[in-house]
Structure 1
Amino acid sequence: MKINLHILFFFAGLLWFFSGMNHQLNAKGRPDPFDIPLHNGQVLRIQACRNEIFRIRISPTGEFQETVMERYGIIKTDWEPIGATHKKKNGKHIISTESYRLTVDPLAGDITVTDNNGILVVERISFIQPKDAIARELAASLNTYFGEIRQDEAIIGSGKSDTPIQAQLLDEVGNLSKGRIIGVTLKEEERFYGGGSTSRTNIQHRGTALRMWATYKKTEIPMPFIISSEGWGIFNNTTAKNYLDIGRFQKDNLFVYNSEGDPDFYLLLGRQMTEVIDHYTRVTGRPYLMPKWGYGLAFGGNTMEDQLDILNDALRFREEQIPCDIFWLEPQWMEKRYDFSTSKNWNFDKFPAEPFWEKEKFPKYEHPTLFISRLHGLGFKLALWLCIDHDMTIAEEDKLALERGASLSGKDHWFQHLTRFIDQGVDGFKLDPAHTLDEHPDRAYHNGLTDKEMHNLNQVLLPKQMYETFRSHKGIRSFHHYCGGYAGTQHWGVSTSGDNGGDKVALLDQLNLGLSGFVNTSADVLVEVSDNKAAMHMGFFFPWIQVNSWYNLLHPWYMNPEEKETFHFYATLRNSLFPYIYSAALQGSQSGMPILRAMPLVFPDDRTVDNLTSQFMFGDHLLVGVNSDSLYLPKGKWINYWTGETVTGNKTIHASV
């Protein structure tokens, strides 16, 4: 008889649960396209990318242009033929793969999805025209629903802090004549997850709508991807502002509302939600795998600290035997505060990384007796804070021009100037949201597009170009993180919850991002929290851990004795779990399975956990409960970490916190 062992860890809770996950390997290839003329004169194109992955597009002309996500290598295009078939029967078109069947009614323009045993998966996918009454009603409803969501404050610390934000509230959903809507009928029992960090109240989104537009401190990492508990999902392939209305406007319908552009989406089919996430990350890129040390503690000191303060902090971590792997420097490392330029330099009064007489000497190198080398000698890595406000399409278009032998633009590639700091020994970078998360309505991008198409995509290009610069220059993976994102960002770097602090809101971001194929997530763990000990308990079980002092003093030796002891305990516990954490990261980098796992992802048949946001699985075996003195145990046997007591599941337990 198979016995499942679980270990329960209850400060507000942590469990050990043995389970196996099977994940498919990546494949390369090219899809089979099938073009189907519809009665309304439009052309429906279906491409069977894999047995379980279909790309579906509509064109009024029959011409299908390359999307910017394809052009810049964000989504996979090299699919292999899989032998999909196309036949007509009773006036309908049937596209079949080994596993699934899509039946198209050209008169109605609808698609029905079944498996090859005839079991219904999706009753109807339809395409709604702007002239239809429901389109106008939905647009008006979304406009009202999201009218209050806007960037109403400037990014912390940036030069725009005292400038009022001009919110663009006129026509939140855009020009209705340009809008395109996909409708999907829903089964009564279906629940829906994903969407990135677009909700800070729920992880189960049926009955709500989600806004896919990267917005500072509101919806910083939208993912236009939604999963059904019934084992299917949709990735909406657009970079324009779009919305997922999941049974809110009409309880039995999902509406994908695109503010611009013809419908273009991937239908992802699987037996369970984990398979759908696997398919999504196959299309948009497998999650990033950090260097091993990236999963240790990253500590940011106070902005008034200089090189000697940081080195003393490093020594203190070692003397106190508190595991820590990374230091990063906030803007005080720069000669000019918030330097957006490509000619920045060290603040030699605080952090002389080279002798002042070698400022103009190249190539740069890691000086053996100065700050960076001394920090490395103590076993720490170093990262630098950066702010960016640049047209990143310049580098992307020059890369494409180089591939085809065309002339280059001659314009600056922003990330290239960072190689001098990499040569001096810098191991990674923190990418601030200033000003990439700001909107740029007046910018004329080098590639000819506007901010309507580029704003969301900028959130992907930023970590993409950071990764490519570091990798091409040094040949290894870097440690770099950013609080913005969009579809594909999970492939190019790691994320945080930005300036939203480390309290309950931060956990909602971790859960929703994990349900959207994002493996490496974190937050400013001890910032704006109501209980430092509870925040440590939660934060040290994030996929990666950062403590960002900024203007605070979050050094553990400055805390009261009880909090210092708690910090030491959790830092040591996390360090002891390193092989377990890195194994989960490896698993996630091949499948999209998050390290921090929302309960319905692991226990999809247990309806008690549908929208449970006070606990999560940390890897395969550990269950962490937070922000509550109760913990729900799914069916099985669990072991209390603190007492060794074996507990039978399928019930809620309580503990004194």
Structure 2
Amino acid sequence: MQTRRIKFTLSFALVLLLATAKAQTYTRISNGVSINTKGITTEITFFNNGIVHVKKYPVGNVAETKSFSVIGKPGKPTVAIIEGKDGLQIKSKNIAVIMSMPSGQIKFGNNEGHLYLQENSTSFSPVKDGNENTFRIKQSFKLERDEAIYGFGQFQNGHMSQRNQQLLLKQENMRIAIPFFQSIKNYGVFWDNASATVFSDSNNVASLQSEIGNCIDYYFIKGANADSVIEQYQLLTGEVPMFPKWVFGYWQSRERYTSQHELLDVVNRYRALKVPLDGIVQDWQYWGEDQADWNAVRFGNPRFPDPKKMIDSVHNMNAHIIISVWPSFGYKTKIYKELEAKNMLFNFQTWPPKDVKVYDAFNPEARDIYWSHMKNDIFSLGMDGWWLDATEPEKAGPDLVIDAQSTYAGSFQKVGNAFPIATTGGVSDHQKQLTKDKRVFILTRSAFAGQQRYATMLWSGDIQGKWDVLRAQIAAGCNLSLSGIPYWNTDVGGFFTGNNYPLGVKDPAYKELYVRWFQFATFCPMLRSHGTNTPREIYQLGNRGEWAFDAVEKYINLRYQLLPYIYSCAWQVTSQHLTMTRALAMDFASDKNVWDVNNQYMFGKSLLVCPVTDSLYTSRAGGVAETNFSNVKTTSVYLPSGADWFDFWTGEKMKGGQQVSKQVPIDIIPVFVKSGTILPVAASKQFALEHADSTLEIRVYEGANGEFILYEDEGDNYNYEKGVYATISFKWNNAKYQLEISDRKGKFPGMLQTRNFNIKLVGKDEGKVVKYNGKKVVVPFN
């Protein structure tokens, strides 16, 4: 151990003033150093070769922190420490950290001298957290002028790049606060703080300021590309489990099904129409309509006389059901009384406001109680998953009252942003401990860093049914994915429609919006129709043969045809840390034209999706909405450079790096396939697990080498964690113009031993049929 002594002075004003030191000192600690400079203790340690952990606090203070996000265990990278005239260098295999002297500023670069990011300033402002002395903390960084950054969770402002704006990172309906961003330069910064935080970027200086913090605590993460940044981040905060295969089918929902009969009638009608369906959702008030019985976590409404029979009936129709559960309870409920007796309820207003209280999800015993009621009164009936609503949690009343609320983990002001990971994590852990036969599935509207490990599917909240809101969803979903949360969806058609479309589905203008929103949602991780003000089951749109019905049915069937691709992408999320909803900058970072594109994205690594986000066929002549499809309209699409592109619908091949105009009749959303893609396409089915895909069409998009790994398993248990699954690799060699189908790897119960692959070379007349028995096959083309 090597130590030098330091003399320093430390004075506080409104902001801690950093005094000039006559000398510096550092102490070698595990995987790094601790150094005092200008009255600040800075700990710089390497979590691994690609992640640097930085902690700062005033000298003499204790940097006690609790991370709700970080669960990874540090490795043992080789770390070199070099003293130089310009400061101290701490280096791993991949990253060089330089602390400048005497300023104490930190720079992150590589061992060849290339700079990624540098600090600008640090401040600690003394504040009170109840009776505790603590700080408002702030760290700023210098960014390059044209450097694009992404992440911070979900915002509804339509911005793709988060440069030159101010964002409040505080959980709220329609806003998801994740204190993590990543740069087009392939690094990320995770700010490990659960209090309300403001990100601000102006004049190329970006800062993060949190209301409460005993210390500044952040991680610098370096990767080779956006996916590897997310991989490192998930190694730090938790990896993503597989959802059941049925999650990726079509889901029908409404606010709300008012009876057992009504819910079952919806599933029956889909089956009678032979329109595919995998899931139905029961929203609130199944417990009863007395507000004092709010969220009793049990069936109490007489209109649901036999909930087990209802669930069994859904299953007998080969569908699945999830149910709404909130983190708040009315005063007459059994769970309220049990939590109240143990002082485990908060005292701030929530929604609905009268005599309803939120539980302290930070308390492990409270999480046990919460789950015990869910397990005994709902899960035991055969429920398939959870809709954990209002996990911000929903708050009403003054922030001062809410922030001062004491929780098991500290004041709400200090830890409030972590409420969603605490409550969803409790449910996820408890269910997985109970059974490994049914994968956890949680639909929820809020998240914190690391929540991806708890099998949660986020949705974008109670958004308005409007065209500009539809467009804003694209950037919102992409930025959430870039925040390390890969699963996300929206209420198709927007949750609220009454102000904009009071006639709902009877209004042709709303039908046009709904159809376009549905097309977008087909290429999202979950396809789920939900909302209030108007019903939106497919038969509400008209009859087969009418434009709205036919367009929606077409995309439901397309969703099922793409299930082999989607489920294999889900395996890539779990096994390779990839993400489905991908900003164009993730895959085409060298093309600066895509850095701030907010109306296109990649779905998986192969499909370029360009949603139609304008009304093209409806007008309100004389105040009455009328449709006119006589003239086919067009929309503009940018094809990123670095690849050739094929029109998904026609097979037409085009060069990348250009803007193209595409016709968009009401039943077409522009979708392009990247050259080198191998795309498996199945026959449609009535539900995801109806049958194995004994015949698959394998579409090959030539022009570049490519590979696709088809993933298959039992569909709904955790045996895949033990290696019980199978993969088949397809490789296209563009120079040899041949497709190689590998030996099948692995096995699982019910696996097809033989099947047919219909190989189609897109844009060419040639196609071939391969009878595959698990052994390698090479398929040449002319």
CA contact (8 A) 2:474 2:600 kept: no
* Amino acid of the structure 1 residue aligned with 2:50: E
* Amino acid of the structure 2 residue aligned with 1:536: F
CA contact (8 A) 1:85 1:96 kept: yes
Structure 2 CA distance for partners of 1:348 and 1:108, relative to 1, 3 Å:
closer
Secondary structure at 2:185's aligned position in 1?
coil
Q: CA deviation at 1:176?
A: 13
Q: CA deviation at 1:383?
A: 0.8
Q: Hey, what's the Cα distance between the residues in 2 that align with 1:411 and 1:599?
A: 39
Gaps of 5+ in 2: 1-28, 329-344, 347-357, 498-509, 614-634, 665-782
2:207 to 255, 265, 279: 255
Deviations 1:456-505 (A, max 9, x none): 01021121112122222233322211111221222221100010146223
Q: Which residue of 2 aligns with 1:464?
A: 425
CA contact (8 A) 2:72 2:238 kept: no
Q: Which residue of 1 aligns with 2:340?
A: none
Q: Hey, what's the Cα distance between the residues in 1 that align with 2:531 and 2:221?
A: 42
Q: CA deviation at 1:335?
A: 2.7
Q: CA deviation at 1:562?
A: 1.0
Q: Hey, what's the Cα distance between the residues in 1 that align with 2:430 and 2:292?
A: 19
Q: Which residue of 1 aligns with 2:349?
A: none
CA contact (8 A) 2:251 2:528 kept: yes
Q: Which residue of 1 aligns with 2:564?
A: 579
2:645 to 625, 628, 638: 638
Q: Hey, what's the Cα distance between the residues in 2 that align with 1:117 and 1:411?
A: 49
1:528-547 matches, within 5 Å, as 528=497, 531-547=513-529
2:187 to 197, 220, 232: 232
Q: Hey, what's the Cα distance between the residues in 2 that align with 1:609 and 1:338?
A: 49
Q: Which residue of 1 aligns with 2:732?
A: none
Q: Which residue of 2 aligns with 1:328?
A: 281
CA contact (8 A) 1:301 1:310 kept: no
* Amino acid of the structure 1 residue aligned with 2:651: G
Whether 2:441 is the aligned partner of 1:479: answer yes
* Amino acid of the structure 1 residue aligned with 2:177: P
Q: Which residue of 1 aligns with 2:370?
A: 414
Q: CA deviation at 1:536?
A: 1.2
Whether 2:264 is the aligned partner of 1:311: answer yes
Q: Which residue of 2 aligns with 1:48?
A: 46
1:23-172 matches, within 5 Å, as 32-61=30-59, 64-69=62-67, 72=68, 74-90=69-85, 92-130=87-125
Whether 2:151 is the aligned partner of 1:194: answer yes
1:495 to 458, 470, 484: 458
Deviations 1:148-190 (A, max 9, x none): xxxxxxxxxxxxxxxxxxxxxxx9xxx9993222121222331
TM-score (norm: length of structure 2):
0.67
Q: Hey, what's the Cα distance between the residues in 2 that align with 1:617 and 1:92?
A: 43
Q: Hey, what's the Cα distance between the residues in 2 that align with 1:348 and 1:122?
A: 57
Q: Hey, what's the Cα distance between the residues in 1 that align with 2:133 and 2:189?
A: 23
Q: Hey, what's the Cα distance between the residues in 2 that align with 1:591 and 1:578?
A: 19
* Amino acid of the structure 1 residue aligned with 2:210: N
CA contact (8 A) 2:391 2:419 kept: no
Q: Hey, what's the Cα distance between the residues in 1 that align with 2:266 and 2:579?
A: 32
* Amino acid of the structure 1 residue aligned with 2:445: C
CA contact (8 A) 2:392 2:419 kept: no
**Paired-residue identity, %:** 21
Whether 2:141 is the aligned partner of 1:184: answer yes
Q: CA deviation at 1:428?
A: 1.0
CA contact (8 A) 1:501 1:525 kept: no
Q: Hey, what's the Cα distance between the residues in 2 that align with 1:623 and 1:474?
A: 38
CA contact (8 A) 1:288 1:494 kept: no
State the number of aligned residues: 554
Secondary structure at 1:205's aligned position in 2?
coil
Whether 2:316 is the aligned partner of 1:377: answer yes
Deviations 1:391-430 (A, max 9, x none): 69866554xxxxxxxxxx6997222200021111111111
* Amino acid of the structure 2 residue aligned with 1:480: I
CA contact (8 A) 1:50 1:82 kept: yes
* Amino acid of the structure 2 residue aligned with 1:459: P
Deviations 1:597-645 (A, max 9, x none): 1111111111111111111111111111013511111233222122222
Structure 2 CA distance for partners of 1:180 and 1:422, relative to 1, 3 Å:
same
1:543-562 matches, within 5 Å, as 543-560=525-542, 561-562=546-547
Deviations 1:113-135 (A, max 9, x none): 2211222222445424549xxxx
Secondary structure at 2:431's aligned position in 1?
helix
Q: Hey, what's the Cα distance between the residues in 2 that align with 1:558 and 1:264?
A: 52
Q: Which residue of 1 aligns with 2:654?
A: 647
Structure 2 CA distance for partners of 1:256 and 1:115, relative to 1, 3 Å:
same
Q: Hey, what's the Cα distance between the residues in 2 that align with 1:180 and 1:413?
A: 35
Q: Hey, what's the Cα distance between the residues in 1 that align with 2:306 and 2:30?
A: 55
Q: CA deviation at 1:35?
A: 3.6
Whether 2:276 is the aligned partner of 1:291: answer no
- Structure 1 residues 108-117 or 271-280, which shifts more? 271-280
CA contact (8 A) 2:516 2:612 kept: yes
> What's the Cα RMSD here?
2.8
CA contact (8 A) 1:213 1:241 kept: yes
Q: Which residue of 2 aligns with 1:264?
A: 217
Structure 2 CA distance for partners of 1:411 and 1:523, relative to 1, 3 Å:
closer
CA contact (8 A) 1:232 1:270 kept: yes
1:387 to 308, 314, 326: 326
* Amino acid of the structure 1 residue aligned with 2:147: E
Whether 2:475 is the aligned partner of 1:520: answer no
CA contact (8 A) 1:497 1:523 kept: yes
Q: Which residue of 2 aligns with 1:405?
A: none
Q: Hey, what's the Cα distance between the residues in 2 that align with 1:265 and 1:539?
A: 35
CA contact (8 A) 1:521 1:544 kept: yes
Q: CA deviation at 1:454?
A: 2.5
Q: Hey, what's the Cα distance between the residues in 1 that align with 2:464 and 2:221?
A: 34
Secondary structure at 1:279's aligned position in 2?
helix
Q: Hey, what's the Cα distance between the residues in 2 that align with 1:275 and 1:242?
A: 26
- Structure 1 residues 495-504 or 261-270, which shifts more? 495-504
Structure 2 CA distance for partners of 1:181 and 1:487, relative to 1, 3 Å:
same
Q: Hey, what's the Cα distance between the residues in 2 that align with 1:342 and 1:300?
A: 19
Q: CA deviation at 1:102?
A: 0.7
Q: CA deviation at 1:196?
A: 0.9
Q: Hey, what's the Cα distance between the residues in 1 that align with 2:599 and 2:43?
A: 43
Gaps of 5+ in 1: 1-30, 132-170, 355-366, 399-408
Whether 2:192 is the aligned partner of 1:241: answer no
